[in-house]
């Protein structure tokens, strides 16, 4: 099977800091891949490079066989890459419905069809458990529900690759259980790449785990392999969960 996403020698420097340093990475279609590592390891910079939010200093990004290294973020969205931010980026004064309607309209050949927009919006809100809050201003939602609203906005784009940056941050335990179910359901039709610090979630969800440290990949493997990796334990896990 051909990887959906690969990076080759991907690097990004900020002044004297090498935030991402020569990363070779491959993600298979339909996979749930977790990216973990200590703070400052380069995880968010890496997914920002993949999504096009920032440009690399060197290296290549290939998505579905095409070189997308120089493409802007909005073009990557059209090609099927959706990214939810580490810090919520919802439109606080708009309702949850209207927040999701914006990306839904981008997926429709006729974005003015109210029936098609409504169907797309409510499908995304129902998948994330927010249908009952559709008409609440996004700024009045709890932080956890704002995170889920971002996921709904990402799903509304019908992505082939959904990148989630710290998606369970601010979620209650019961919401985390529902989120795990949601990601598994998403993976039936999309590939999922998530940065996550909640190790029980990572170990439960991920098919494979990539561990970053100091801008480089320290290790990759199944949850069991990562749990038993001595270098990973020393750099990040400490006592294995």
Q: Give me the CATH number covering residue 22.
A: 3.40.50.300
Work out the number of other CB atoms within 10 angstroms of the CB of residue 64: 15
The reply to whether 56 falls in a domain is yes
Span 12-40, pLDDT tens digits = 999 889 999 999 999 999 999 999 998 88
Instruction: Look at residue 140 and tell me whether its pLDDT is greater than 50.
Output: yes
Helix axes 143-156, 114-127, angle to 10 degrees: 130
Phi, psi of 111 (to 5 degrees): -65, -5
Of 105, 123, 158, the residue that ends a domain is 158
Q: Are residues 174 and 219 in the same domain?
A: yes
Q: Are residues 63 and 168 in the same domain?
A: yes
pLDDT on residue 241: 42
Q: Are residues 9 and 27 in the same domain?
A: yes
- pTM assigned to the model: 0.88
pLDDT on residue 85: 62
Instruction: Look at residue 128 and tell me whether its pLDDT is greater than 60.
Output: yes
pLDDT on residue 111: 53
Residues 6+ apart with CB under 8 A from 94: 137, 138
Domain count, the chain: 2
Q: Provide the residue range defining the domain that includes 150.
A: 91-158
The reply to whether 86 falls in a domain is no
């Amino acid at each position: 099977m051909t990887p959906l996403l690969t990076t080759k020698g991907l690097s990004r420097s900020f002044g004297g800091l090498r935030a991402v340093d020569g990363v070779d990475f491959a993600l298979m279609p339909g996979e749930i891949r977790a990216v973990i590592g200590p703070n400052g390891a380069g995880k968010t910079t890496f997914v920002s490079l993949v999504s096009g939010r920032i440009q690399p200093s060197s290296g290549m990004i290939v998505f579905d066989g095409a070189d997308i290294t120089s493409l802007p973020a909005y073009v990557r969205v059209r090609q099927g890459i959706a990214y939810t931010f580490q810090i919520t980026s919802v439109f606080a004064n708009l309702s949850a419905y209207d927040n999701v309607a914006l990306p839904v309209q981008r997926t429709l050949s006729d974005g003015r069809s109210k029936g098609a927009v409504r169907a797309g919006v409510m499908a995304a809100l129902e998948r994330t458990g927010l249908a009952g809050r559709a008409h609440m201003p996004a700024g009045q939602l709890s932080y956890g529900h704002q995170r889920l609203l971002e996921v709904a906005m990402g799903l509304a784009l019908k992505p082939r690759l959904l990148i989630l940056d710290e998606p369970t941050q601010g979620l209650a335990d019961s919401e985390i259980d529902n989120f795990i179910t949601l990601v598994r359901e998403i993976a039936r039709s999309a590939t999922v790449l998530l940065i996550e610090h909640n190790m029980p979630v990572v170990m439960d969800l991920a098919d494979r785990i990539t561990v970053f440290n100091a801008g480089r990949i320290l290790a990759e493997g199944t949850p069991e392999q990562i749990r038993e990796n001595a270098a990973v334990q020393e750099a990040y896990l400490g006592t294995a969960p």
